[in-house]
Amino acid sequence: MTASKNVHGKRGMDLIYDPLTNKGTAFTDAERDALGLRGLLPPAVKTPEQQLLRVYDNFRRKTDPLEKYIYLVSLQERNEVLFYRLVLEHLEETMPIIYTPTVGLACQRFAYIYRRPRGLYISAHDKGRVREILRHWPYEDVRVIVITDGERILGLGDLGANGMGIPIGKLSLYTACAGVPPERCLPVMLDVGTNNQTLRDDPLYLGLDQPRLRGKAFDELVDEFVTGVQEVFPKACIQFEDFGNTNAFRLLHHYRDRVCTFNDDIQGTAGVTLAGLLSATRVTGKKLSDQRFLFLGAGEAGIGIGDLIVTALEADGVPTDVARRQCWFLDSKGLVVRSRTDLADHKKPYAHDHAPAKTLLEAVESLKPDALIGVSGMPQTFDEPVVRAMARLHKTPVIFALSNPTSQAECTAEQAYTWTDGRALFASGSPFDPVTMHGRTHVPGQGNNCYIFPGVGLGVMASDATRVTDEMFFVAARTLASLVTDADLAMGRLYPDLKRIREVSAAIAAAVARVAFDRGLTKMARPRDLAAHVREQMFSATYPTWA
């Protein structure tokens, strides 16, 4: 955003009221005269650094996380550059607010904190005019769309139209973490109703007051949206987010080879988890191909991780059937084994011959997994007997409690370290504070998808890729793991410092773009310097000069 003229063609209050063009008190005297702003702003011209001091001070004065969220959203609605400058300068403080864990609470309270529309709402009543709605969006070159139907928001369940907070938050991370320009991002709420009766009984609820649309009518609406995007935004990548398990797998399998799309709950979670497992091998000394993985939860996240582990093992020469037998799943009815007759299709490839096991502790004692991965959305299910069993079985047990938000985590960082006498390699979906034991401070790694999906999206955008493949997530995971330093590992962190997120995303984007060019998934001429080309696409949180 370094234009030398007002490419938006706006003047006066129109310029101020557009968050993409507004500079607030940072408009220079020359700009105020040239753009009809004289008298519309306080006379003092402030530097971006002075503006940052003011908004950061206001942010810090808020003591309640939801109030901090409201403040940041309000800032984003009036000045995008200043918002992203604040987020990037103070990423460790702001990310837990604009995304997990606070975004979960923001979704629960969405109707009560709603201020200004952001994104598009497409409802079950809009069948036949979805293309018209897409054309209402004021920006033409959309490259990343995040769409949800609100059925499975984090670990909080069906939040209906309140789930719009998730696409908005995800796209904020695309810009903050990977520099995807905000005008190329489009959040979409597909409101097909809700089965959450509490929401429907709430007079302030902003969504449709009807049960969820199912079956053919649902599929037709989704298809109208997907085909409409191909027409209105032909270079856009569609990210499906927080759909229920059944629809998530169906939609991914139906569209992945037809349009540029992926599901972050399935593939993004898989990428960041695989990266953490690869990092852990540098500490444990065990090759990935020599390990067994036990998942608590066999939904989108769990099966997605299992599939990507299989892809990684296949790359190391492990046959597919052998690779799958290294991944075991426990769902609400017990261990996923071949003798069960109640398994959904997405679980069947991981149904192995084994005696049934009803409890997690029984499965741990029987299978002796090297890594225990929680993707259940069920809090405190990694209890003391389970974690102590992992510690007894392995010198360095790998324990990933990945469910979001923090309230849904399978165990806390402190519990994992305490019950393993500080020997665990721990990662979580939401952030936990460092834990000091026996004179050593353990810094838990946050296996946050923000390490993966923004870089993947940037790589797809930078290469004009027409598809998003599993190989792209594999190279993203491998790239992420390669950026973990020995210093990170020494403090127990399996991911790079969050302060390096733009460097990480740029590296992942270059790796993803390389796959697109190598596999013929783009018609773009291959740039001579791919890394430099990626960096040129990235939004910078600096004001343009217009006069």
With cut-offs at 50, 70 and 90, classify the pLDDT of residue 438.
confident
pLDDT band at 547 (very low <50, low <70, confident <90, very high): low
Res 94: pLDDT: 97
Q: Which CATH superfamily is domain 102-259 in?
A: Malic enzyme, N-terminal domain (3.40.50.10380)
Predicted pLDDT of residue 8: 65
In sequence order, the β-bridge partners of residue 329 are 295
CATH topology for 267-449 is Rossmann fold (3.40.50)
Residues 142, 103: contact at Cβ < 8 Å?
no
φ, ψ (nearest 5 deg) of residue 438: 50, 40
> How far is the C-alpha of 411 from the C-alpha of 123, rounded, in Å?
38
Asked if 102-259 and 267-449 have one fold, the answer is yes
Band the pLDDT of 405: cuts 50, 70, 90: confident
Strands (E), 302-434: 327-331, 334-335, 371-374, 398-401, 425-428
- pLDDT > 90: percent of the chain: 95
Residue 101: cis peptide before it, omega within 30 degrees of 0:
yes
Which candidate in 10, 69, 84, 99 is catalytic?
A: 99
Dihedral sign computed on CA atoms, order 507, 289, 450, 500: negative
**Model confidence over 44-71: pLDDT tens digits?**
999 999 999 999 999 999 999 999 999 9
Is 170 an active-site residue? Answer: yes
CB 297 within 8 A of CB 283: no
Angle between helices 470-482 and 501-518 (to 10 degrees): 140
Would you say the pTM of this structure is higher than 0.75?
Answer: yes
Q: Look up 99 and say whether it is catalytic.
A: yes
- CA atoms lying within 13 Å on the CB side of residue 332: 6
State yes or no: cis peptide before 405, omega within 30 of 0.
Answer: yes
- Among residues 170, 255, 350, 543, the one annotated as catalytic is 170
Is residue 129 very low, low, confident or very high in pLDDT (cuts 50, 70, 90)?
Answer: very high
Per residue in 1-21, pLDDT (tens digit) is 344 455 568 999 999 999 999
The domain limits of the chain are 102-259, 267-449
Kindly give the pairing relationship between strand 327-331 and strand 445-446.
Answer: unpaired
HEC letters along 307-343: HHHHHHHHHCCCCHHHHHCCEEEEECCEECECCCCCC
For 248-257, the pLDDT digits (tens) are 999 999 999 9
